[in-house]
Amino acid sequence: MSSSSALTLAEAIENRRSLHKLSDDVTVANSRIEEIIHHAVLYSPTPFNCQSGRTVLLVKDEHKKFWDLAREVAQATAPPQLFEKVYEPRIKMFRAAYGTGGDFVFVQILFYDDISALEGMEQKWPMLKDAFPKWLDHANGMLQYAVWTMLAAEGLGCNLQHYNPMIDARVSQQLNIPATWSLKAQMVFGKPDGPPMQEKQFDPVESRALTYGA
């Protein structure tokens, strides 16, 4: 896969941030975004190479329909105060283009696990049965991280959202998602249009990453 970025991997890891202020002025082609996702899906690790991760890329109208649906479900599900204070403004932010007042063209990726991968593994390694669902989660996080870091290296701003499980049934119906796919996260992205919402604080690394035997 060709890279349009001269960043080292360490720099790409450091530069990746949660960016919520995004504009619709994205010059990266959808084909390039697909290439990045396909690369991450192919090469991210999974337990026993079960290849459980799935993605759905939503662009333009499909992204818009997704947030309309999320708003509808949140309004019907959340206590009214929570909806007004938290869900409504956030969903508006993800749905609407920043600063331009125009129609949004943000894009996003839905991350799924195909839980049918569990069956074969559970039969083969029954003693690990309890661990497999957690490991699928770990693997999905790795996939999300690979996509996030590569999109950021491409100059795109991303943020990670979790409107699941509230929206699962409706999204599955709207997008005709296979019954064995379990929604894990949603990643919204666009052109960065401002700094991260919060300054990032770092706890001392020495107490978080230990070395023995050196």
Ligand X SMILES: Cc1cc2nc3c(=O)[nH]c(=O)nc-3n(C[C@H](O)[C@H](O)[C@H](O)COP(=O)(O)O)c2cc1C
> Which spans of this chain sit near ligand X (rule: CB under 6 A)?
17-18, 159-162, 196, 200
**Nearest CB to ligand X, comparing residues 117 and 152:** 152
CB of 159: closest distance to ligand X in angstroms?
Answer: 5
CB of 119: closest distance to ligand X in angstroms?
Answer: 26
Phi, then psi, of 88 in degrees rounded to 5: -60, -55
**Nearest CB to ligand X, comparing residues 161 and 180:** 161
Distance of CA 109 to the CA centre of its chain: 6
CB of 8: closest distance to ligand X in angstroms?
Answer: 18
For residue 89, give the nearest of 15, 197, 7, 183 by alpha carbon. 197
**Nearest CB to ligand X, comparing residues 51 and 161:** 161
Burial string for 167-202 (b: 16+ CB within 10 Å, else e) reads bbeebbeeeebeeebbbbbbbbbbbbbeeeeeeeee
**Nearest CB to ligand X, comparing residues 200 and 208:** 200
CB of 197: closest distance to ligand X in angstroms?
Answer: 8
Q: Give whole-number Cα distances, 32 to 7, 74, 86, 122, in Å.
A: 17, 33, 33, 37
